Structure 1
């Protein structure tokens, strides 16, 4: 005897995946009313497409923090979703924590995505590459190809979304976010982040202890 699927379960699944009512009902019936299995069922069929949700407004969410062991590196990151309901979900908060850890681990990352990198930064990186000795004697057309490849690699190093996820290097941060969009049924965006490194930007004074003692004795 098949499990009776309630309207509440169908509504919950539709809310989490964005799939149609009939698709949600069929998925629940196929999985015995188990929400998690039904979500996976819909994902496999492509009915919970993340790409369709990427243009939806995301103004709710959380500001997550991460302090690395030793308290020398800290991160604040704002992750947005569409509703307060999803912002309270453990999966969303776990994602936010993982993103904060990723930022702490990737010191080269300075921007959320490649399209946010200012043109002057790109031009500066190009100038650096063109001046490197290992390509100085190459023909211009070869030089341009080498620099193009190196710049593409460099821009990915600066971009958070292009980083391999530290807990699963087979998945990029962009793919990780899309997985959660499908799972939670809402658009999810990394809005901004700030990395704090202890002593960063402070001119450290190196004291000559022997000189200090000598000056104190003879003063």
Structure 2
């Protein structure tokens, strides 16, 4: 049957798909718009599968936090190009996915894909975005944080890096919390305290330090002691509360918090595009 230009335009306006794709879908569906939309979705799924080996290292990190700072969500949505990430429609869709995660207390990407939004699962929404945009698009990370203390959210300009920091009590000055969240963003600590560092990593660092000292000709017993000194420096670089505070290197993060009568950090989450797959 003959497909009019007006019908093609109507389907394109409904779906955002390309003109030729819309014309082919309408022809295949004998002019039935619902069937044509279904055909486009199926084509979107095929596009997604074809692009499964493509790198999706661009995108957005977004956060939402409630008014009393006791619940927050952090979401990473990925695409292939920065051009798409800066598109307003992509950003609006990402925001709606974040809100769905927050409102449904979702703490992982797989569960978020099953949530319905405007009559479709988020997984189907992603398929439609792939068909429309022509890039691999996926939600890689969803984090839910709750606390009896205080949560602080920090999104670095450009939305490629985000942090949620949990403080063990009431934090009256949010700027202090932002400072610490920015510290996490910039300095990439492994954990809040030494106890949180993986023991195998500690053993490896100790072994490397000792081997270096032995290679320098140090006796075994001296190498053992000096390696422990190097391990202390490792903790100062990789443990948040022991790190030098970026805004004032004369104090550690813990000393900065104590000087300002602020509660200590209890936990943190850090998401950076392409680093948390």
Give the number of the structure with larger relative contact order, counting CA–CA contacts within 8 Å between residues 6 or more apart: 1
Q: Which residue of 1 aligns with 2:151?
A: 63
Q: 2:164 aligns with which of 76, 87, 97?
A: 76
DSSP 3-state at the match of 1:153: helix
Deviation at 1:172, TM superposition (A): 1.4
Tell me if the contact between 1:64 and 1:77 (Cα under 8 Å) persists in the aligned partners: yes
CA–CA distance in structure 1, aligned partners of residues 233 and 218 of structure 2: 20
- Describe the superposition over 1:58-102 as per-residue Cα deviations: whole angstroms up to 9, x where unpaired: x74321111112222111111121xxxx44x3x2x1211111011
Deviations 1:130-159 (A, max 9, x none): 333773533112211321211111122111
Quote how far apart the aligned CAs of 1:126 are: 1.1
In structure 2, the partner of 1:102 is 183
Point out 4+ residue stretches in structure 1 off by more than 4 angstroms: none
Kindly indicate whether the alpha-carbon contact (under 8 Å) linking 2:213 and 2:223 is maintained by their aligned counterparts in 1: no
Which residue number corresponds to residue 190 of structure 1? 265
Aligned residues: 131
Q: Give the equivalent residue in structure 2 for 1:151.
A: 231
Structure holding more strand per residue: 2
**Distance in 2 between residues matched to 1:115 and 1:194, nearest whole Å:** 17
Q: Are the equivalent residues in 1 in contact too, given 2:161–2:185 (CA < 8 A)?
A: yes
Structure 1 residue matching 2:153: 3-state secondary structure: strand
| Aligned alpha-carbon RMSD (Å) | 2.2
SS in 2 for 1:110: coil
Matches within 5 A, 1:119-134: 119-132=199-212
Map of 1:44-63 to 2, 5 A cutoff?
60-63=148-151
Contact conserved, 1:64 with 1:76, CA < 8 A, in 2? yes
TM-score by length of 1: 0.53
Q: Kindly indicate whether the alpha-carbon contact (under 8 Å) linking 2:241 and 2:252 is maintained by their aligned counterparts in 1.
A: yes
Q: Structure 2 regions of 5+ residues with no counterpart? A: 1-146
Q: Which residue of 2 aligns with 1:15?
A: none
Q: How far apart, in 2, do the equivalents of 1:135 and 1:63 lie?
A: 47
Q: CA deviation at 1:123?
A: 1.1
Q: 1:39 corresponds to which residue? A: none
Change (3 A) 1:142 1:135: farther
Contact 2:236 2:244 in 1 (8 A): no
